[in-house]
Chains A and B, each alone.
Chain A
Amino acid sequence: MRIDMFGDTLCAMVTATAMAQSGHRVRWWLPPGRVARALDDDRVLYQEPGLSELVSAQRRAGRLDCRTDEPGLADVNGEPAVSEPAPVVCLALQPGDLERAGHLADWAGRGGARLLVNQSVFPVGTTEQLQARLRDAGADTPVVCLPDTLQEGQALDSFTRPHHILLGCDEREAEVLMRELLRPYNRRRDVLKVMLPREAEFTKLAISGMLATRLSYMNDMALLAEELAVDIDVIRQGVGSDPRIGEAYLYAGCGFGGPGFSRDVMSLTDTLRSRRIGAELLEQVLQINERQKEVLFRKFWRHFEGDVEERRVTLWGAAFKPGSDRVDNGPALRLIEALWAQGVDVHVHDPLALPELSNWARGKGTLTLHDDPYEAARDSDALMLVTEWKAYWGPDWDDLKAAMRTPLILDGRNIYDPAYVKRQGFTYHGIGRG
């Protein structure tokens, strides 16, 4: 089948590429920007296992046609410059692109597309509003919602081998067509959960809210653990072994971030607020998370009793999670801002995210970026472990101790054994490890 994909989100790239891999012919319309520029150079901006290779392969095979040469596709009165939409039009736009979604829907409806798939993270109810808009304009193209539930760091895998697929669809014909499109990913057993579009949109936000709540809950417990001199990691294992709770998303740490996760929680909070329902729990969840992003800074500050000017600090990891090059909303940024404000000299190592970090830092302050983690730690007064990249799990403690000026380890992901690290002659603080 022919598919038109709009947007430059990770969801757009994964969907377009996976669909192309399944034999569909996909035209991918990218707005001007970093993602499009990278594709022009035959690079893929999103660092996801297997994605880059697959994009190249599908482009070579001619099934994925990246249209990056069309500046401002929807610029001229919102009219796409292509005349005819493909039978299936997918929108995986940035969250702020509501207006553009409307123009593209009009275009798809006028051109007689058979199906419009909304994958963008918009407020709950947007898919149905698009449907109503088309109906008012006399178009009978059905609009369905396929919420973006990709897990960053394993995005391709979570699309092609999903545990569940949410589909918001209230029309028989549209469901048949969606089942056909999703058939390659829905083989072993039927994991498709069909519900109303607004229910699908809401479910997606509620999932993010629940996960965030678990994390912030554990971070609150971690504070208490420090007071009571117990190790939160022991508590986590005990709690997670209860089948009513399960093991996922119970790790205390220095805060969650990323372009998707906190955005979803904020969107849910906004939705609740706009209906005049107090989003008390979620506001707390977000607030705890913001506090948690600074937890390593506070430990550093307390260690030196606030006398930190002109000290040197090393961050290991800047990406909001291992496997990603994204730094958006991550704890590293908040830490760096806090350190800068106190006149601290900041050195960073990260295997992937340094270019993104350096983009973010431009015009804000000075960072020293390192290719070698031990070089980064030289003469440092504290090492902050921010992202649990595999390469950080087993450092050469002797080299590290020789390099650092003050042997202080602040472990934001609880990946080290406190007793062992202390035996190597370091001062160690984890999260919730009293």
Chain B
Amino acid sequence: MDAILAHPLPVIALLIAIFATHILEARAAQKGNWAALGFVLHLVMIVFFVFIGATLEELLLVLLLSAVVALA
């Protein structure tokens, strides 16, 4: 959790943005647009995690959390 704890604000901001796209996608009529935006945000998140030197466990945890929100 070291990398996440070292950069809490950008990580939280990214997660909130991703979760928001999942929620908006569920409510919107045109789901594809929000899903595409969510996909781009995931790419940004993965690049960011690689950039800050996060471990695979940390990356796996946030990806799983995102999938949980998407499927909930």
B partners with A: no
Chain B positions within 8 Å of A, measured between CB atoms, are none
Chain A positions within 8 Å of B, measured between CB atoms, are none
